[in-house]
Chains A and B, each alone.
Chain A
Amino acid sequence: MSVNQYVPDNKESKYADSARAFRQNVAKDLADEQLRSNFHGAMNYLMDKRKASFPSSDELETLRQQCKLIKQRALVKLPLLLEQLENKLHENGIQVHWAETINDANEIIAQIIESKNGKNIVKGKSMVSEETALNDYLQARNMEILESDMGEYIVQLAKEHPSHIIMPAIHQNKKQVADLFAEHVKGFEYTTDVDTLIGEGRRILRDKFSRADVGITGVNFAVAETGTICLVENEGNGQMSSAVPDLHIAITGIEKVVEFLEDIPPLLSLLTRSATGQAITTYFNMITKPRKSDEKDGPEEVHLVLLDNGRSQAFADEELRQTLQCIRCGACMNHCPVYTRIGGHAYGTVYPGPIGKIISPHQLGIEATKDLPTASSLCGACGEVCPVKIPIPQILQRLRVESVKKPTGSPKELKGTGANRKTTEALTWQVWSFIHRHPNIYAVSMWFATRLRALVPNKLGAWTRVRSAPKPAAKTLHERIKLRTEEAS
């Protein structure tokens, strides 16, 4: 085998198993009062902040419409924009790599690091690198990788994964963080004072930055027109990771590309306001080239890894394609009554909440995620706040249909289609639909249903665990109306 022949590793993502355990996770996390109160407080805070940052609903609605169309334009031109982005980045001196699967992406990154003999790796916040489980992959190759976003750092210390896409450690309160520091940080004097805790994190992480030779970050937007990678952040860790080490590797999903530089300002404004209610984040970092020969800092090499992992599959269906408009603001989870109660870990997926329910089936298949779309009251809050107007409730219903329909084996079909299909349920609905299409049979069956109402069993599986069994009325609505009309005349 030549060195150029890499055998793709199609091992299932570790999140598939945890997503399968959704029901057990929910039961466990709902019973955790501390967790519920942490989420409750945090979601209220984020909802208020968002609301205050959009004083004019005219402005908000115009911006949402504009940004939806910007993203839809980018998607309908996606293959062209990806090629343009690649060309521009090449011109600028940034190297581009493509990966269809998470393990391919991890392997690319591992090999780039090995080729430069990288030892000390720092990572800025990146949900795509969570998606690929990059830390596990690199650690298995004996590479040390340190999360540098404060929230991610806490989550890494706790050996957990983020419970929110913007605020990764939102499930922990300051006491829990202090306990973690006491356990893991040498010389830490116990305190729950947040300034001191952050000061400790700063001391440790700045020391790591000053020794790091590899920096890994995500990407918020990639601009095809100019070949520019944009990072949105408050802490400065993204900038530390991208500007201080000699080697910068950015990883992103293929849907993050936009066409023009002028598409960025409205998207940025909606992103930060929807996410945390900030007019803008402390830092907005636009990277277009590696260090030039006359410059005194910046990475000598910059790489961008473009990951598919199910995105091209979502792209194949016009309705599901809208999922790819997402700019990862987190507003849908902040406003979701289910997320607020069960928290981010219960989903078992990388992306929790409403966006997680609609994107995970493309990444993990419907079989592993079949319970997720059902965990919604379809209240519609997510769709109403989504800055790029993704009709999340509509897509949830669509995914429910996909999970119970008969698979046809078409290549466009989602992996695991029909995983929730049960013969009795399918049969019941077939009978139901037959009856409702035939008025005579309908009338007869209704007559029986009302007359035999006493025979309805008291126990109806899951339904009667928390409710009493429904009983048909003594007379159908038709009969009663008929009776009333007769009485009146």
Chain B
Amino acid sequence: MSYKFEEQSKSARNAILAKLKAQVAGADYEKLPEEPTFEYAKQSREQLLENFVSLLKSNHAEVLPIKEEEIGAVVVKQLQKRKIDSLLYNPNAQYANALASSFGASSTELTLLPFDFNVNENKLNYFNDIPASITSSRWAIAETGTIVLWPTPDEPRTMSLVPPVHFVIADADTLHSNFASLVEQQNWKAQMPTNVLLISGPSKTADIQQTLAFGAHGPKELIVLLLNSQ
């Protein structure tokens, strides 16, 4: 892209860097002070899980501990309870067939909507006609009650943001005690994707008189289907 400003930006770059470099010339980067880290007490898997679930709940997420084979039935029941008749999903997901058969067997009319469209050309439909979505997740973090989404072409980044109700499948076996250990142990720095999302509840705001309200822009409800927690 070429635009009138390129030259200006280049000279600004050189001017800023020159000013900064003049100030730190000769700094010895080998001799920087040691940075302390806090050692958190080790917690058992049960404690971590308990913390994870209770934080999510206190942030108004619904947490449903289930078995893998129950995904379809549980989702159908939750949708019926909310009188929702369709669900955006990833047809290549592991659980896709299970969802399809539960939807087929449902007593009410339920439609599975595959994410097979380009968002740019379908924004109005996307924002107005899709009441719910389901996505997988990659990891979970106990210390903050957080679910880590690692969007892919099959499960795009806005899938967890635009539909008003978001189901997310989390696996207790991927639970890490905190964000720092997750980033380090899973070597994030070598594999950052287009976008990573950490989600810790439904969208909210306290911008009017510090009164908490849910569903500011993103999902009003976050329903966590928690596998392998029993």
Interface residues of A (CB under 8 A from B): 3-6, 8, 38, 41-42, 45-46, 58-59, 62-63, 65-66, 69-70, 73, 76-79, 82-83, 86, 95, 97-100, 104, 107-108, 111-112, 114-115, 148-151, 154, 167-170, 172-174, 177, 194-195, 197-199, 201-202, 205-207, 209-211, 225-226, 228, 234-237, 239-240, 243-244, 246, 254, 260-262, 264-266, 268-269, 276, 279-292, 294-298, 301, 306, 308, 312, 315-316
Q: Inside 8 A of B32's CB, which chain A residues have their CB?
A: 69, 73, 76
Q: How far is the CA of A301 from the CA of B13 in the complex (A)?
A: 21
Q: How many A-B residue pairs have CB under 8 A?
A: 290
Q: A98-B13, A286-B195 are in contact. List 17 more A-B contacts (CB 8 A).
A: A6-B5, A73-B32, A77-B27, A79-B20, A148-B217, A150-B205, A198-B216, A234-B205, A236-B216, A236-B217, A239-B218, A279-B145, A282-B59, A294-B153, A297-B156, A301-B1, A312-B20
Query: Which listed residue (B16, B145, B194) contacts A288, Cβ 8 A?
Result: B194
The answer to whether A202 touches B217 (Cβ under 8 A) is yes
Tell me the minimal C-beta distance from B58 to chain A in angstroms: 10
The answer to whether A246 touches B120 (Cβ under 8 A) is yes
Q: How far is the CA of A173 from the CA of B127 in the complex (A)?
A: 30
Q: How far is the CA of A149 from the CA of B208 in the complex (A)?
A: 11
Tell me the minimal C-beta distance from B114 to chain A in angstroms: 11
Q: Which 4 A-B pairs have the closest CB atoms?
A: A236-B218, A151-B207, A235-B216, A297-B119
Q: Contacts A209-B127, A315-B23, A316-B23; is A235 near B193 (CB within 8 Å)?
A: no
Q: Inside 8 A of A83's CB, which chain B residues have their CB?
A: 17
Tell me the minimal C-beta distance from A295 to chain B in angstroms: 5
The answer to whether A210 touches B211 (Cβ under 8 A) is no
The answer to whether B189 touches A236 (Cβ under 8 A) is no
The answer to whether B215 touches A198 (Cβ under 8 A) is yes
Query: Which listed residue (B6, B162, B201, B211) contacts A282, Cβ 8 A?
Result: B201
Q: How far is the CA of A291 from the CA of B213 in the complex (A)?
A: 32
Which one of B75-83, B100-108, B177-185 contacts A? B177-185
Q: How far is the CA of A195 from the CA of B60 in the complex (A)?
A: 15
**A-contacting residues, B167-194, CB 8 Å:** 178-180, 183-184, 188-189, 192-194
Tell me the minimal C-beta distance from A481 to chain B in angstroms: 47
The answer to whether B207 touches A283 (Cβ under 8 A) is no
The answer to whether A283 touches B199 (Cβ under 8 A) is yes
The answer to whether A283 touches B153 (Cβ under 8 A) is no
**A-contacting residues, B32-61, CB 8 Å:** 32-33, 35-38, 40, 55, 59
Is B21 among interface residues, defined by CB-CB distance under 8 A? Answer: yes
**A-contacting residues, B150-166, CB 8 Å:** 153, 156-158, 161-162
The answer to whether B37 touches A62 (Cβ under 8 A) is yes
Tell me the minimal C-beta distance from A296 to chain B in angstroms: 5
- Which of B8, B199, B200 has the most A CB atoms < 10 Å from its CB? B8
Q: Inside 8 A of A86's CB, which chain B residues have their CB?
A: 13
Q: How far is the CA of A211 from the CA of B217 in the complex (A)?
A: 14
Is B143 among interface residues, defined by CB-CB distance under 8 A? Answer: yes
Tell me the minimal C-beta distance from B1 to chain A in angstroms: 6
10 example contacts (A-B, Cβ-Cβ < 8 A) are as follows A3-B4, A151-B207, A198-B215, A237-B216, A279-B55, A280-B179, A283-B203, A286-B197, A292-B194, A306-B16
Q: How far is the CA of A246 from the CA of B16 in the complex (A)?
A: 30
Q: Inside 8 A of A246's CB, which chain B residues have their CB?
A: 120
Q: Inside 8 A of B21's CB, which chain A residues have their CB?
A: 79
The answer to whether A115 touches B3 (Cβ under 8 A) is yes
The answer to whether B157 touches A297 (Cβ under 8 A) is yes
- Which of B7, B10, B120, B219 has the most A CB atoms < 10 Å from its CB? B120
**A-contacting residues, B108-151, CB 8 Å:** 115, 117-120, 123-124, 126-128, 143-146
Q: Contacts A70-B35, A148-B217, A295-B156; is A281 near B195 (CB within 8 Å)?
A: no
Query: Which listed residue (B5, B35, B204) contacts A107, Cβ 8 A?
Result: B5
Interface residues of B (CB under 8 A from A): 1, 3-10, 12-13, 15-17, 19-21, 23-24, 27, 29, 32-33, 35-38, 40, 55, 59, 115, 117-120, 123-124, 126-128, 143-146, 153, 156-158, 161-162, 178-180, 183-184, 188-189, 192-211, 213, 215-219
The answer to whether B156 touches A298 (Cβ under 8 A) is yes
Tell me the minimal C-beta distance from B172 to chain A in angstroms: 19
Query: Which listed residue (B9, B146, B180, B209) contacts A174, Cβ 8 A?
Result: B209
The answer to whether A280 touches B198 (Cβ under 8 A) is yes
Q: Inside 8 A of A63's CB, which chain B residues have their CB?
A: 38
Q: How far is the CA of A173 from the CA of B128 in the complex (A)?
A: 31
The answer to whether A279 touches B143 (Cβ under 8 A) is yes
Q: Inside 8 A of B161's CB, which chain A residues have their CB?
A: 236, 239-240, 243
The answer to whether A78 touches B157 (Cβ under 8 A) is no
Query: Which listed residue (A177, A296, A312) contacts B118, Cβ 8 A?
Result: A296
Tell me the minimal C-beta distance from A291 to chain B in angstroms: 7
The answer to whether A280 touches B217 (Cβ under 8 A) is no
- Which of B10, B153, B203 has the most A CB atoms < 10 Å from its CB? B203
Q: How far is the CA of A294 from the CA of B157 in the complex (A)?
A: 13
The answer to whether B197 touches A239 (Cβ under 8 A) is yes
The answer to whether A202 touches B4 (Cβ under 8 A) is no
The answer to whether B8 touches A243 (Cβ under 8 A) is no
Q: How far is the CA of A66 from the CA of B32 in the complex (A)?
A: 12
Tell me the minimal C-beta distance from A287 to chain B in angstroms: 6
The answer to whether B183 touches A8 (Cβ under 8 A) is no
The answer to whether A206 touches B217 (Cβ under 8 A) is yes
The answer to whether A240 touches B208 (Cβ under 8 A) is no
B35's closest neighbor in chain A, by CB? A69
The answer to whether A78 touches B189 (Cβ under 8 A) is no
Q: Inside 8 A of A69's CB, which chain B residues have their CB?
A: 32-33, 35-36
A227's closest neighbor in chain B, by CB? B192
Q: Contacts A100-B12, A154-B208; is A95 near B194 (CB within 8 Å)?
A: no
Q: How far is the CA of A298 from the CA of B123 in the complex (A)?
A: 12
The answer to whether A308 touches B12 (Cβ under 8 A) is yes
The answer to whether A298 touches B209 (Cβ under 8 A) is no
